[in-house]
Amino acid sequence: MEERSVIFQIKTLQRRPEGTDAMEEKAEGSLRREEESWLLSYRESTASGLGDTRTSLRLEKDRATLVREGETAAQMVFQVGSPHLCRYATPYGEVPMEIRTLRLDVDLSELGGKVFIIYKLKLGGADVGENRLRLTITPANEG
């Protein structure tokens, strides 16, 4: 499948002991089918707090790999039952990160679809809570 222009509706929810933070934003990007996976790509908005960063999400049968490149950089792997360790790079330095995926749902076609991920996150060894990421993808010409 050739690359298709899409609109991402991005909803994030972070539950921490001190409270809950939610954010919702839209981004223009692309969707492409590659053999056994889907590749989603978009540029983060300034509201995300990630600076000038491009985010790509490769979705396979039971695994999602999120790659951020730019002012903020990381490679985060989401796979239920398999904790993932990586480094989270910011303009202020790097922090070790651990991801434990609790749920990964993917429902995509050439017309778009939905991705839902629930995961627990540790930064620098400290538990920072449970995170939820919900992406809704629609064709750009309908958005």
Span 7-16, pLDDT tens digits: 999 999 999 8
**Residues 74-127: tens digit of each pLDDT:** 889 999 999 999 988 877 888 899 999 999 999 999 889 999 999 999 988 889
Strand partners, 120: 100, 130
Chain position carrying tokens 């540029």: 43
DSSP the chain: ---EEEEEEEEEEEEETTEEEEEEEEEEEEEEEETTEEEEEEEPPGGGT--SEEEEEEE-SS-EEEEEEESSBEEEEE-TT--EEEEEEETTEEEEEEEEEEEEEEEEETTEEEEEEEEEEEETTEEEEEEEEEEEEEEGGG-
The pTM for the full model equals 0.86
Distance between first and last Cα of the chain: 21
From CA 109, how far away is CA 122, in angstroms rounded? 32
Chain position carrying tokens 């930064």: 123
The mean predicted confidence, pLDDT, of the chain is 89
What φ, ψ does residue 134 adopt, rounded to 5°? Answer: -125, 120
Name the pLDDT band for 142 (thresholds 50, 70, 90): low
